[in-house]
Amino acid sequence: MTAKESMNAQERAIRIELLRARAALERQALSQQIHVLGEDLRPGNLLRSVAPSGRSVGGLLTSALTLTRRYPLLLSGASTLLSSLGGRWVRLGALALTGWKLYSAATSQQRKKSEQVLVPVRRDSDG
């Protein structure tokens, strides 16, 4: 006799109800996540998440890179669009702009690291 056979009818009914409640909670959580994702993907919300606080080209590029990390499919679509639209100069310009932004981000991070270095102060023991 196995454990399932030894369960009486009341235990089976309780187990079935627990499984139904768990499935209902999982469906509700999935529905809520789909709703939140739908709100995040609305055009107005996408534009707000991309729009930089300042109106610089670098800020726009940084926001676009952040958005492509969150939604990798956008990067694929953008590269397809870029390759089909402009010619070689548009692609080279986009590549140069990306390289410049990565270089400026790396140098600013290096500068921040050098500012955080603590320099020991030498004190005279007489004074």
Q: Give the highest mean pLDDT range of 13-27, 69-83, 110-124.
A: 13-27
Q: How far apart are CA 22 and CA 29, in angstroms?
A: 11
Q: How far apart are CA 63 and CA 91, in angstroms?
A: 19
Q: How far apart are CA 119 and CA 10, in angstroms?
A: 74
71: three-class secondary structure by DSSP: coil
pTM summary value: 0.37
User: In 3D, which of 32, 33, 7 has the Cα closest to residue 18?
Assistant: 7
Q: What is the pLDDT of residue 30?
A: 94
Phi/psi region, residue 18 (left: phi>0; alpha: psi -120 to 50; beta: rest), is alpha
